[in-house]
Amino acid sequence: MATSQPVPDSKLPVAVSFALIAVGLVIGLLGGFTEGSIAGGIIAACGVIPAMVGLWKGIQQESQGTLGLSVMAVLASLGVGGLLIILRIVDWVR
């Protein structure tokens, strides 16, 4: 039976995810945070994709640090993206 080589620890996907969240927040803040932003929400929510890659790498590495950061990035990405989109919809309704 072949032994598997450990996957090197990589936090790059998590960093990319947090960068997308930051870009989404900046776009949302440019238009006024209470007004929200569809584009900012979509960009922030797209941070889920690299965060899920980081989650998969954390599972492969059996690394608590990478796994924990990836879960936090998934939740933050969905939260910020959803908040920006909901604020924009509420602003349209008002």
71, 57 Cβ separation under 8 angstroms: no
Residues 7-45 pLDDT 10s: 566 789 999 999 999 999 999 988 876 788 899 999 999
Question: Do 77 and 34 contact (CB within 8 A), yes or no?
Answer: no
The mean per-residue pLDDT over the stretch 57-70 comes to: 86
pLDDT for the residue numbered 35 = 82
Is the pTM here over 0.75, yes or no?
Answer: yes
CA pair distance 84, 61, nearest whole angstrom? 33
CA distance 74 to 54: 10
Percentage, residues of the chain above pLDDT 90: 53
DSSP state of 46: T
Q: What is the mean pLDDT of the chain?
A: 87
Mean pLDDT on 38-62: 91
